[in-house]
Amino acid sequence: MATFRGFSSIYLILDALDECPYEDGFRDQLLTTLFHVYNEGGENLHLLCTSRREVDIEKALGPMLDSPSNANIDLSTHQEAVDSDIGLHIDRTFDAEPFRSWSDVIKSEAKAALIEKADGMLVLPNFPL
């Protein structure tokens, strides 16, 4: 962690912790390392983690959230807004090739299925259908 001290600010963003494999201890190793980095990082470390709710992740990150300067934001309490945001992203994606040729009915059905299955998360980099 001495490397952190050489910078005025360090921003570490870890997206989708829940997608780290649980098998073979990979997720446990990640969470243990994350906790160590957090404890040793000092004042110049700014950490943002995203995840679906998982018991092991909540248990591991819980001690980090005890500080009044830290926050746990539960987006599931804003599911309508999250779904709307995902829908806007899907609409933009469907307005481009190769989806322009799809009928409005197909686009609507695909959008509804994607929003339902997204569980608040969506990544459509090359969206192969």
C-beta of residue 27 within 8 angstroms of C-beta of residue 20: yes
How much is the average pLDDT of 75-79? 81
Predicted confidence (pLDDT) per residue in 7-61, tens digit: 888 898 998 899 999 889 999 999 999 988 888 887 888 888 888 888 999 888 8
Instruction: Tell me the angle at which helices 104-118 and 79-94 cross, rounded to the nearest 10 degrees.
Output: 140
pLDDT above 60 (res 122): no
